[in-house]
A and B are shown apart, each in its own frame.
Chain A
């Protein structure tokens, strides 16, 4: 559902001609992406298209060699990752990267590493409301959780700082269909509370059903972009990513 009435949309993230490298590998080849405030934007594409690299470039784990990343109007392409956490970027990375030897509760506190104790106490409560499952298992070690629970924890951990934008990398990867539904339900719910979300997904159908707009990536370039509705009806997307003939 696009909102055509909104004039001069407030842009949270703006990538302009971004080139990123992994060593000698030219992973992003001039990417332009805009994420308007309050929306869900999705990046879809095959393995190796550069979706994860895009998120890593935004959150500062990787710095672009060329081009700019703007966050709330400020160029952040040289800002280290740990400072961007404070500025308001939350990133639930590929593979969840839960601290396996810490409990759920301790993992959440790590998520609030840059915040005060009081803020964290309050925010842990909100995360538990969003994911009652995490509250039930709060003393369980991260490494012993199921894939779905780990994903919930990864999202909850990224929400601990109450970021301006939440980057989600393949939240449905490896989950049973019923859990995929649940995770996407939660993504909607988080977005409904006002959170801007940049979602990377291989499950293009699901992604386009929750997102306002999307970008299709291929070998480090944006080959197509538009509203979710337009993308779903696009012939190429239907063939390549939605598995239709």
Chain B
């Protein structure tokens, strides 16, 4: 379920030094992080975090939508791609920017505007897609909305291809390429910016889901749609808001991606979407903390593979990890075990 905080109740019945478990839960991840840092060095560590942050932002949309209507929204990766195009259209084609902007007083409002516009536009697109394509199929067998989602994915890709062509389009890298030097390591300021933006959004999302009235509506709808209605929750509106937030986060990831890589193409959403979806499953689909965690893990696996000289094997290692995790924890790292939904 959407972000009821993962507690220790999952797997409590597993016969294994029960008193050690909470400790292991903290120690093992801590060791992994320290190990990754020692192995990769600070520069690649930050690189992995940056990539992971982008995957995590996309993965949140997959997991939220799955949590609430049990749909794998295959068009979600394309929302990320479109978010990047909204941003490059605004910054490059409307404002005519090309290079970096070094004055913070000018840069900050531009960044805020780019995020704002991309998130609003993509949020609106997400709500519209839900209304037109998925809502009419809510009572249909699960396969129907799934196939529809694949269709929506093609439609979005083709819309962008018609408008921008099948080539890469430049996205203005308005963020100056300044490095922050820590000891001998040079960390790009942009990377830190991306990580901070992503983490702030994730925390805001957790607070929203955990503390607000709409968040309660979302959690109850995910747990039991009929019961939620009987509590007075407007489930149509709640589902629409879930799509809105998921799509807006994908839009934000698109902006970030444009700043980082400087180019976008109509099919960018496919690969990124696949990996983000993997992240959501790895973390436990339906669980927002799990999706964020999964995103970062995949970032680390990819960059780790590159550091070891296996960059071409990156995807294989990512999916291999997924297979191994699912063998031992079929519902993902933080997913609830089956049967808990009494």
Where the two chains meet, the residues of A that have a C-beta atom closer than 8 Å to any C-beta of B are 59-61, 80-82, 85-86, 91, 93, 97-101, 110-111, 113-114, 143, 157-158, 161
- How many angstroms between the C-alpha atoms of A91 and B229 in the bound complex? 10
B112-120, B230-238, B277-285: which lies at the A interface?
A: B230-238
9 new A-B pairs (CB below 8 Å) besides A93-B226, A101-B340? Answer: A61-B229, A61-B230, A85-B231, A86-B232, A97-B226, A98-B227, A99-B220, A99-B224, A100-B341
Within 8 Å by CB of B233, from A61, A82, A93, A100, lies A82
In the complex, B217 has a CB within 8 A of chain A:
yes
**Chain B interface category by residue count:** 20 to 34
Contacts of B223 in A (CB 8 A): 99-101
Q: Check if A143 sits within 8 Å of B342, measured CB to CB.
A: yes
Contact present for A85 and B234 (CB under 8 Å): no
A111→B228 CA distance, assembly (Å): 9
A56 CB to nearest B CB, Å: 8
Please give, as numbers and ranges, the residues of chain B lying within 8 Å of A81 by CB-CB distance: 229-230
Q: Is B1 an interface residue, CB under 8 A from the partner?
A: yes
Within 8 Å by CB of B220, from A110, A114, A158, lies A110
Whether A110 touches B226, Cβ cut-off 8 Å, given contacts A82-B234, A101-B4, is no
Q: Given contacts A110-B216, A113-B216, are A97 and B227 in contact (CB under 8 A)? A: yes
With A82-B234, A85-B232, A113-B217 known to touch, is A99 a contact of B340 (CB < 8 Å)? no
- Expressed in whole angstroms, the Cα–Cα distance for A61 and B225 within the complex equals 10
Nearest chain A CB to B33 CB, angstrom units: 29
Contacts of A100 in B (CB 8 A): 223, 340-342
Q: Which of B220, B230, B234, B340 contacts A93 (CB 8 A)?
A: B230
Residues of B within 8 A of A111 (CB): 231
- In the complex, A232→B340 CA distance in Å? 42
B84 to chain A, nearest CB (A): 37
The complex places the Cα of A80 from the Cα of B232 at a distance, in Å, of 10
In the complex, A114 Cα to B231 Cα: how many Å? 7
Task: Return chain A residues, CB-CB under 8 Å to B220.
Answer: 99, 110, 113
Residue of B nearest to A94 (CB): B226
Contact A80 B234 (CB under 8 A): yes
Q: Is the Cβ of A93 less than 8 Å from the Cβ of B227?
A: yes
| B 207-220 to A, binary, CB cutoff 8 A, 1 in contact else 0 | 00000010011001
A157 and B235 alpha carbons, distance in the complex (Å): 19
Chain B contacts with A in 324-342, Cβ cutoff 8 A: 340-342
Name the residue on B nearest A141 (C-beta).
B9
Cβ B340 vs Cβ A110 within 8 A: no
CB proximity of A208 to chain B, nearest CB, Å: 26
- A61 with B4, Cβ < 8 A, contacts A100-B340, A113-B232, A113-B233 known: no
Residues of A within 8 A of B340 (CB): 100-101, 143
Q: Determine the residue in chain A with the shortest Cβ distance to B139.
A: A23
Complex CA gap A82/B232 in Å reads 4
Contacts of B1 in A (CB 8 A): 101
